[in-house]
Amino acid sequence: MCLAIPGKVESIDGRAAIIDFGGIKREAIIDLMEPGLVKIGGWVLIHTGFVIQVLDEKEALETLDLWKEVLANMDEPEA
């Protein structure tokens, strides 16, 4: 199974962008997107350090809400 997480583009420098995941910031490569498609302040979907999709804000926030629900309902691992 592959997991992709939405984040907000904070800055772009060449082929990399700094993505904000709710206060945690990481670099992601934007090479898989058409030039100019990834924009500062926009929302993107990240998988293994690469931007794989541009999202609108509504879609990004809905996805984050789903992730929060999944994490809230996970069972604690047994010791």
Residue 11: which CATH number?
2.30.30.140
**pLDDT tens digits, one per residue of 44-67:** 999 999 999 999 999 999 988 888
79 found inside a domain: no
User: Which tens digits make up the pLDDT trace of 7-58?
Assistant: 999 999 999 999 999 899 999 999 999 999 999 999 999 999 999 999 999 9
Residue 29 in domain: yes
Q: Is the pTM of this model over 0.75?
A: yes
If you average pLDDT over every residue of the chain, what do you get? 91
Give me the number of domains the chain comprises: 1
Quick check: is 77 in a domain? no
Angstrom CA distances, 45 to 14, 75, 78, stand at: 18, 26, 32
Residue 2 — very low, low, confident or very high, per pLDDT cuts 50/70/90?
confident
List, in order, residues 6 or more apart from 21 with CB less than 8 Å away: 5, 7
Q: Domain range for residue 67?
A: 5-72
